[in-house]
Structure 1
């Protein structure tokens, strides 16, 4: 039951974060990029703090270790990741497909950081092969234009790569932390502190909240990203991070493009091609290799294998 719960939550997270790419693209038409990211976590942080006050006994971090975990999440997972990602995606050379390919490097980068901070999280040779196959599947699914991958926008692509590295490092540091802090409390304060840092980055880049254009579409994009993708999404993410570890949970960056393609087809009438299906199947093979032991145990428990 625990494995089924983890798988269900993993798929929900992939669906929420995959569909968030549509909301980000919609919102960037109305907001300065870094300010957009900061506003997202202003709202999400307040919502999560209210939820933490309701759900846990102590919604305020206590002691050095708890504040260090909050700070690592705020700096790497909230501020750095979203500032780099939103800035990178403003360049026309960085299409959604190109960004998806670069962000899909996150699980590989996670294994690099895990070797330094979490020796017990290292993959076996078969698991590493599955990770590589999953990356190939993400590339096939995204089906980027080779000219966009190798052409202009070098700085923007580097920014997206830095975003993926920031997220991977933040995941590993959070897992390595020995602080005993409720997920809701850690998430709320990481978002609030991260939002403040992101506002400072936006201010340094000359952005202003006054430049935002407030329409029904922009409010819907901001609301979805704040409450669903950030509030609910990170609540699931940090729960699974504690259960699965950073390498396995960051496989969500392989699966999220599947849901991004489905949402794009449903809402934006973007076609589902044979390439999309092939990429999805390749991702399934890679995911199966990484999770082969858990799958084997589930099949044995169901009486399918001996």
Structure 2
């Protein structure tokens, strides 16, 4: 896979990922966080389950290892990560939540290295460069009045998501992504049922156009399309490299917040966004270099065994 294609996939992924918190901010004016996520995950899971069954993947869906992988991912990447983040979204701005989530590359890289994953000085340089850009974009936006409890919840959610990413790369990447994503959404929804006090009201809120549009975006564009794209990136370039695209989230978060929530765009936003893009180019080029190096070593290893 070329560096340009990796960057394209990563940019699309990041734009959709950041849009989830903006759409979530709109949707949360109609219901509570847990009820919203419970209905969202359930709807996304049912849709993917039906698609998988129509494709004839029923046996794959209900294999024990696929169910286990989906359950672990549903707990870590759905119930905990998004549950904690959306609760915090009630007291924090969308930009603040996106900034904290963008620390995922550092957590994921650290976990990957501890578990024997690849280490790269260039990867670290790209991640640090990107985070400098993130800081330039949103440092002023976090000044004064930030809810410390909300910040802690998002950090805990991001840690959970990073653990889920490393787990998927090491234990579940060989499974069908659609099957894993279907099970993880359904399991995430089931986990949140006891904490969702307004399920009926959330469904009833679909009669309001702003909520309907935000909800459909969260279900189709984010839970289904974007998460499948995320799993594809993790499978192609690894957990640490894929997580680096979270550094671009604040740039899209600022732009989308300006478009839909009335936030202002400053010269610092433009400068920080340019620095983030530089960091992403460094990381993507390093990912391609590592892929090419691994392809070259495979034939050599085969020759030695002969």
Q: Please say whether Structure 1 and Structure 2 have the same fold, judged by a TM-score greater than 0.5.
A: yes
1:183-198 map, 5 Å? 183-198=177-192
Structure 2: segments with no counterpart, 5+ residues:
291-306
Structure 1: segments with no counterpart, 5+ residues:
298-306
CA distance in 1, matches of 2:229, 2:173: 19
Contact 1:52 1:59 in 2 (8 A): no
2:248 aligns to what? 255
1:216 aligns to what? 209
Contact 1:78 1:191 in 2 (8 A): yes
CA distance in 2, matches of 1:168, 1:34: 21
TM-score (norm 2): 0.85
CA distance in 2, matches of 1:291, 1:276: 22
CA distance in 2, matches of 1:10, 1:279: 18
TM-score (norm 1): 0.85
Structure with the higher fraction of residues in helix conformation: 2
Q: Residues 56 and 7 of structure 1: is their aligned pair in 2 closer, same or farther, counting only changes over 3 Å?
A: farther
Contact 1:103 1:164 in 2 (8 A): yes
SS of match in other structure, 1:250: helix
Contact 1:61 1:181 in 2 (8 A): no
RMSD: 2.4
CA distance in 2, matches of 1:294, 1:109: 18
CA distance in 2, matches of 1:163, 1:83: 8
2:118 aligns to what? 121
1:77 aligns to what? 77
Please give the per-residue CA displacement for 1:42-82, whole angstroms capped at 9, x wherever unaligned.
11111111222234534643544322211221110111111
Alignment coverage as a number of residue pairs: 288
Q: Residues 274 and 295 of structure 1: is their aligned pair in 2 closer, same or farther, counting only changes over 3 Å?
A: farther
Matched, 1:291 2:287: no
Contact 1:140 1:275 in 2 (8 A): yes
Matched, 1:243 2:236: yes
Superposed displacement of residue 33, structure 1: 0.9
Deviates more, 1:20-29 or 1:66-75: 66-75
